[in-house]
Amino acid sequence: MDASKQLIGKIESRKARIGVIGLGYVGLPLAVEFARQGFRVVGIDVDSRKVSGVNAGRSHVEDVPTRELRPLVKDGLIKAQDHYRGTGKMDAIFICVPTPLRKTRDPDISYIVSSVEQIAKEVRAGQLIVLESTTYPGTTEEIIRPRLEAKGLRAGKDFFLAFSPERVDPGNKTYGTHNTPKVVGGTTTDCTEIAAALYRTAIETVHPVTSTQAAEMIKLLENTFRAVNIGLVNEVALMCEKLNLDVWEVIDGAATKPFGFMRFYPGPGIGGHCIPLDPHYLSWKLKTLNYSARFIELASEINGGMPEVVVRRASRLLNERRKSIKGSKILVLGVAYKRDTGDVRESPALDVMNLLQRRGARIQFHDPFNAQVKLEEGVCRRTALTEANLKKADLVIIVTDHSDYDFNWVVRHSPLVLDTRNATGKVKAGRRKIHKL
């Protein structure tokens, strides 16, 4: 029997042994989905705290409840380790390691490279290797394939190679790993088919495409689409300010059109480790082909400038009350990059706070999920959200609209509010104190 038929047989009988490299927001939910289908999954992570947590049945990922992980670990379906020994015994390996940017905003694919170099030591005929980390078109063929083929095995013939982008949206209650359609593209048709067959055991809808490059590009189109549209709506917010219009009213009005319009919201900037970063992977790749990704660069400039817009607005509001930023007490509500998560990676709140501190403001913050944040001037500890603290502030800036907050109450006790998220849209009393982005 040829290698592909053998592997398909192991997938159908759930005898295929699965490895997931990187047990973060992407890897751990994937490991859980496969284990739920009865596969034995070994998770590999260089962070030994995560490894021992998983082996004790404890989840470190908000979207994977401990009560779901624990029985899978107890039944021996999920095991974690902090080394790569034994990857040669696995039938399918999913790589879910980070893909950050360097300080120069160039892709940092060193995590992928180091992971593949480890896998290559034990790669054998009949294995399926799938990259899930977001990256530029060409990574699977140019970076991964040669390293796996170094000992003479051939992708598509001896072993199988594919790229399948991860689309998980942390905190999304409707769409998780199981019901978010999965795009998959392999080095050859066999590679695509085998990877698709494995995903179909755990994921409702699988969408095969003709190459790894197409699959890589699909992910970057999705996130560039978001970054560019957020950039557009942020610019519309700036235009509305000049025209003395309420951008939120304008968006609500446009959204009554049942076709051809999709809502995006302006705000203090973009955060998280996908939307601000991923488009730069594409832009970098195009630079190597002597092409400038203009929409990406423009959106990045507009979105990256929004914290400065917030600070300018804060300065004007204080100025109108004969106050300066220097010496004013400014209370920032919410530091996470989006509502109801604690994630502060790339959060625009940190930029807003740093900019205000540089101008001499006395900064305080509150966030239900973060007791402290690291700013340029050092660690800043959370202030209690009390009537007295709201009253004492010269200005309260709503940066993240966590649903825990009672904005009626916030407005009632604050002297002056700058709302960057339209969180106070429904607040009735005290509207004169509220100023929106």
Ligand X SMILES: NC(=O)c1ccc[n+]([C@@H]2O[C@H](COP(=O)([O-])OP(=O)(O)OC[C@H]3O[C@@H](n4cnc5c(N)ncnc54)[C@H](O)[C@@H]3O)[C@@H](O)[C@H]2O)c1
Interface with ligand X by CB under 6 A: which residues?
A: 21-27, 44-47, 50, 96-99, 111, 114-115, 133-134, 166-168, 170, 274
By beta carbon distance, the residue nearest ligand X is 24
To the nearest whole angstrom, how small is the minimum distance from the Cβ of residue 132 to ligand X? 6
- Phi, psi of 65, rounded to the nearest 5 degrees: -65, 140
To the nearest whole angstrom, how small is the minimum distance from the Cβ of residue 34 to ligand X? 16
160 in Cβ contact with 113 (< 8 Å): no
To the nearest whole angstrom, how small is the minimum distance from the Cβ of residue 22 to ligand X? 3
To the nearest whole angstrom, how small is the minimum distance from the Cβ of residue 300 to ligand X? 17
Nearer to ligand X, 228 or 309 (CB): 228
State the Cα–Cα distance between residues 230 and 396, nearest whole angstrom: 24
Question: For residue 193, what are its two tokens?
Answer: 């088919």
Give 288-349 as a DSSP string: HTT---HHHHHHHHHHHTHHHHHHHHHHHHHHHTT--STT-EEEEE--SSSTT----TT-HH
To the nearest whole angstrom, how small is the minimum distance from the Cβ of residue 98 to ligand X? 5
State the Cα–Cα distance between residues 345 and 307, nearest whole angstrom: 15
Nearer to ligand X, 21 or 299 (CB): 21
Nearer to ligand X, 99 or 212 (CB): 99
| Nearest in space to 143 (alpha carbons), one of 112, 101, 166, 165 | 112
Amino acid occupying residue 280: H
Alpha-carbon distances, residue 436 vs 244, 262, 321, 381, 421 (angstroms) = 11, 22, 17, 26, 8
Which residues on adjacent β-strands are paired with residue 372? 381
State the Cα–Cα distance between residues 79 and 73, nearest whole angstrom: 6
Nearer to ligand X, 28 or 397 (CB): 28
Question: For residue 110, what are its two tokens?
Answer: 């060193």
Nearer to ligand X, 137 or 423 (CB): 137
User: Looking at the annotation, which residues are catalytic?
Assistant: 274
396 in Cβ contact with 416 (< 8 Å): yes
Nearer to ligand X, 17 or 392 (CB): 17
To the nearest whole angstrom, how small is the minimum distance from the Cβ of residue 122 to ligand X? 14
| Nearest in space to 39 (alpha carbons), one of 13, 6, 59, 68 | 13
- Phi, psi of 208, rounded to the nearest 5 degrees: -75, 140
